[in-house]
Structure 1
Amino acid sequence: MKLPVNQEVYIRPFRKNDALSFVEAVHESVATVGAWTDWCRQGYSLQEAESWFKLCNQNLAAGLAYDYGLFSVSTDQVLGGIAINQINKEHNFGNVGYWVRQSQQGKGIASQATQAITTFGFLELKLTRLEIVVAEENIASRRVAEKVGARFECIARNRLVIWGVPHDSAVYSLVPS
């Protein structure tokens, strides 16, 4: 799969040769992405990236999760990630997650990628609900959810654990129109 986001960005599965660019994106983004995700930290290694890619591709093949990379059309550099994961087949919904490397934040990539993956989730996966769950204080990710038209549903107490600390989280939903 290769899914366009805009003229400069596309979505595709990770490949082993993306690992170095992925690690560079992680290290660059510790101050922003790392504030909200445990895996985004200094010291993140090439081996961790390769293991992550292997798990992503296994889950993709099994239809369990769709964790993809965001890539530059011109350079093939890793710009971030976009996913539909935590799929609940019984109730036909999943979670949408996204991150964009620090140097590319504020350009609309996350919201455009979220729109693209949401369309994929509804049309290709036939899901009937997608959720975006972000720490209440994560204003940037909440703005992405709002920008793509996700409906704010609630603040769920202790919904996410980040760096070992429970956080109240904003829950948003998208449903096919």
Structure 2
Amino acid sequence: MFTYNIDEDLYLRLIDEGDRDAVYKLTDDGRDYLREWLNWVDGIKKREDTMGFIEMAKKSYAENSGLHAVIVFRDEVVGIAGYNKLDYSNHIANIGYWLGEGYQGNGIISKVASALTDYAFNYLKMNKVEIRAASENIKSRAVPERLGYTEEGTIRAAENIYGVYVDHVVYGVLKEEWQK
């Protein structure tokens, strides 16, 4: 099973069935907050709906096409992060993340994204890591900017979030850039 220690308070662990209640609670408690940028929130109406995501996550891990982990901070599940897509033919990993509202401001996502970038280059042997964020999602965009990713462009109307099309800004970093 995948576990990746980041520091004494923070680690990533492959999501599994035992995380259902904690992940559902984070989603349910932060429904309005999460709904602003995540188009799947309304599909999670009960704890069992979270199992669909967990089953998809386990399948993508087994197929080596993605990796979805719980973010554990001070022994509490506080969000989800990982690789939404692992493209081994082109050696590109796409990082995705979300954090419970009450856990903002601790540098958690920056540390997690940095660790995932390291892991992609050092263990998965990727050549490039990408992070995409809605153009108006300033907090999410700040993460790759803080980590030294390059803004590569904008994909117009990339996602439909509850009837509103949002553009995505694509950030990328190459292995040789990250190692510097």
**TM-score normalised according to structure 1 size:** 0.91
Which structure 1 segments of 5+ residues have no match? none
Equivalent in the alignment of 1:174: 173
Q: CA RMSD in A?
A: 1.6
Cα distance between partner residues in 2 of 1:68 and 1:164:
29
Equivalent in the alignment of 1:133: 132
Cα distance between partner residues in 1 of 2:43 and 2:93:
29
Cα distance between partner residues in 2 of 1:93 and 1:29:
31
Equivalent in the alignment of 2:63: 62
Equivalent in the alignment of 1:4: 5
Which structure 2 segments of 5+ residues have no match? none
Equivalent in the alignment of 1:84: 83
**TM-score normalised according to structure 2 size:** 0.89
Q: Does the 8 Å CA contact 2:80/2:98 hold for their aligned counterparts?
A: yes
Cα distance between partner residues in 2 of 1:140 and 1:32:
13
Q: Does the 8 Å CA contact 1:136/1:168 hold for their aligned counterparts?
A: yes
Query: Greater shift after overlay, 87-96 or 55-64?
Result: 87-96
State the identity %: 24
Shift of 1:42: 8.3
Alignment of 1:29-40 (within 5 A): 29-40=30-41
- The count of aligned residue pairs is 175
Alignment of 1:98-109 (within 5 A): 98-109=97-108
Runs of 4+ in 1 over 6 A off after TM superposition: none
Say if 2:36 is the partner of 1:48. Answer: no
Partner amino acid, structure 2, of 1:134: A
Give a deviation string over 1:103-136, Cα, whole Å, max 9, x none. 1012110110001111111111111111111110
